[in-house]
């Protein structure tokens, strides 16, 4: 990316462990707007949970599909390319393979998105809108690149160390 910065997006997410496998995650938006929401994840019996909420992967995929759909509708207005309906379907696949440190390691196999649009606009305009939405969708752009993901670890309220 070499464009001029338009705005920044900053979120803090803090998860606490409750129940057997349930996590309650508080999301605090810092920019470009401020908000606080809580979302809970759980696991079914496969992972030893109690099924009180959807799994983390379902939240992740909702973020992906919802982000692209949101960008299509938001950019529809900005680009003046009318869309009267949109549906997005995503097939997502991962493999768990034997690892060297833990029981298994995760590996993404790909994300295949079908974008189903109803519009009176010329087909080339709709295609341009969808292309713009893909580039504007923060989640898609995150999937497209190897990201900087850093970790710190603290045990029993001791010092933070890089992990």
Window 52 to 111, contacts with its own copies (CB under 8 A): 54-67, 69-70, 73-75, 77-79, 85-99, 101-111
Please tell me whether residue 120 adopts helix, strand or coil conformation: coil
**Shortest spacing between CB 40 and its own copies, in angstroms:** 8
- Decide: 119 and 130 in contact? Cβ < 8 Å: no
Could you tell me the CA-to-CA distances from 116 to 86, 111, 113, 126 in Å, in that order? 6, 16, 10, 11
CA distances from 14 to 110, 141, 143 (A): 28, 23, 22
Q: How far is the CB of 8 from its own copies (least distance, A)?
A: 6
CB of 81 to its own copies, least distance (A): 10
Chain residues 4-23 in contact with its own copies, contact rule CB under 8 A: 4-17, 21, 23
Number of residues forming the site for its own copies (CB under 8 A): 126
* DSSP label of 156: T
Q: In the set 50, 52, 80, 126, which binds its own copies (CB under 8 A)?
A: 126
Q: How far is the CB of 23 from its own copies (least distance, A)?
A: 5
First to last CA, the chain: 29
Residues 94, 105: contact at Cβ < 8 Å? no
Is residue 112 near its own copies by the rule CB under 8 A?
Answer: yes
Q: Work out whether 1 is an interface residue with its own copies (CB under 8 A).
A: yes
Nearest distance from residue 137's CB to its own copies, in Å? 6
> What residues between 136 and 155 interact with its own copies by CB under 8 A?
136-155
- The interface mask with its own copies, positions 26-55, x = CB under 8 A, is -x-x--xx-x-x-x-x-xxxxxxx----xx
From the list 115, 139, 149, 150, the residue with the least C-alpha distance to 129 is 115
Please, are residues 68 and 115 in contact by the beta-carbon 8 Å criterion? yes
Contact between 159 and its own copies by CB under 8 A: the answer reads no
């Amino acid at each position: 990316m070499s464009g001029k910065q338009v705005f920044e997006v900053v979120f803090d997410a803090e998860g606490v462990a409750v129940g057997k496998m349930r996590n309650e995650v508080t999301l605090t938006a810092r920019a470009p707007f401020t908000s606080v929401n809580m979302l809970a994840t759980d696991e079914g019996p496969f992972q030893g949970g109690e099924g009180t909420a959807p799994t983390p992967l379902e939240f992740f995929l909702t973020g992906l599909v919802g982000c692209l759909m949101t960008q299509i509708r938001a950019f529809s207005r900005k680009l003046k390319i009318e869309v009267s309906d949109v549906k997005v379907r995503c097939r997502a696949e991962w493999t768990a393979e034997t690892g060297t440190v833990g029981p298994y390691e995760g590996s993404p196999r790909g994300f295949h998105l079908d974008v189903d649009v109803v519009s009176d606009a010329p087909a080339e305009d709709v295609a341009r809108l969808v292309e713009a939405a893909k580039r504007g969708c923060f989640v898609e752009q995150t999937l497209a690149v190897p990201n900087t993901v850093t970790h710190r670890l603290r045990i029993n309220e001791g010092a933070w160390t890089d992990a």
